[in-house]
Amino acid sequence: MGNAHKCGGRSFIGDVAALRSGLPPVNPRTTMSTPTPPRPFTDILPLEAVTDAATHYVRVSLDEDPAHPEAARQTADGSSTRTLPRTPPRTAPRTIPILGRDSTVHPTSGPRFGPDAVPRRENRTLVLSVVRHRLLSLEQLAQSLFPGQAHQVIGRRVGRLVADGWLQTWDQPVQLGGRPRYVLPTARAVRFAYHALEADARGTAAEALLRTMRPARPPKPLALEPGVTPPFFQHQRETNDLALAIAHRSGLTVSWSSTWERPFPATADGITLPQPDAVFLVATASGPRAILLEHDRGMEPVRHFHATKTARYADLLARPELCARLFGAATLEIWVSVLDARERRPLRRLTQLLATAEREHLTSHMRFTLGGWLNAFPDRGVFFPRGSAPLTEDVAATSHPLEPLNAGWEIPTPPTAAPS
């Protein structure tokens, strides 16, 4: 499939790590509330180990910089008449990365090993994954890309990419415990991914989707102030948790996964497009299926969800030819995960959101679940049957008749116009 990378018998665009088919998925520790504790993190295949650091980049070696002659050690005689070669003092300021735990890392402004140096192999995977998710914690990197590796080992790899200008770090301020470290792409990484992801998708099922999502020019990377947690941070972190769970632990063949802000154009063919929190492309027996995820934390009125989500999805699904052109898939589903951080009654919130889908005749295309269920059990039944509301507010998954992620996929359900 063009430039798609092969891993474990599956094709993935943008270096989405794969599971070997036949192995049981695992449920690593989650940051969201879950009905039961997750199982141990043991059996996701790690990426191929690389011991030669020089193979990570297109360069000759790590020791090409000439030694400073003034730093040469003197001979044993200690002669005062011995002259050492001197170099003129440095006049331009030198940029040195700040690697402290309490501040954002400031990467060097240019490539260390020539203008053509680019990440290779595991480093390429890491950089593209961070770009596709806007930011990732060391914990999320360990769970998705480097299972079994200590955070110190992952931190050293990140540190090399920071020093080379590909990544930057941000420490989340918390009241208790250590400061969780997050990794963000630099402008250089975003420019690299802008072309690399498009090249990987060329000639694959994800080509049309990437053409729709790819802006006219590389966007600006996410910028976070040291010591300040932005209002959107919790939503972004939880969305990334869900995206990684679906891509790595659901058992689905995911060829694209991303959590970009406003991933689609504002309009297409005269209609206003919805802006999902995450976008997936899944391979099925009947062809590729586009999945658009909406993660609702209960922070906005239900009428806002109706106006900006269900009403816009209804307009989009009424145009099946437009869906196929935008996403390269004949089938489209909307998944809604609910957390309700404000009222702490997520199933009541879910019922209210389901009512907006019924009003727009979207119950066959819009499916609902709790965020904790989807994050903890992506390989099990977590969705309510299409159009069905919960009969109780008990958040235990065993108290409800739930369906797996791929329920109903045996028979294709293409978008259809809403009945008049």
Domain limits, the chain? 1-44+97-230, 262-420
Residue 344 has pLDDT above 50, yes or no: yes
Long-range pairs of 325-328 with CB within 8 A, sequence gap ≥ 24: 325/208, 326/208, 326/209, 326/212, 326/264, 326/268, 326/273, 327/208, 327/209, 327/212, 327/281, 327/290, 328/205, 328/206, 328/207, 328/208, 328/209, 328/281, 328/288, 328/290
**411 burial level (CB within 10 Å; 0-12, 13-18, 19+):** exposed
pLDDT at 75 over 50: no
Q: Convert the pLDDT of each residue in 388-409 to its tens digit.
A: 999 999 999 999 999 999 999 9
CATH number of 1-44+97-230: 1.10.10
- Residues making up the chain, counted from first to last: 420
Please state, as a whole number, how many other Cβ atoms lie within 10 Å of the Cβ of residue 56: 21
Of 294-298, 348-352, 370-374, 411-415, the range with the lowest mean pLDDT is 411-415
Which letter does DSSP use for residue 185 in this model?
Answer: E
Q: Does residue 391 contact residue 354 with C-beta atoms inside 8 Å?
A: no
- Say if CB 48 and CB 55 are below 8 A apart: no
Beta bridge partners of 368: 336
On whether the CB atoms of residues 185 and 130 are closer than 8 A, the answer is: yes
Determine contact, residues 317/365, Cβ cutoff 8 Å. Answer: yes
Whole-number pLDDT of residue 178: 77
* Mean pLDDT score, 292-300: 97
Say what percent of the chain tops pLDDT 90: 65
pLDDT in tens, 12-57: 344 333 333 333 333 333 344 333 333 332 222 233 333 343 333 3
Whether residue 382 has pLDDT greater than 60? yes
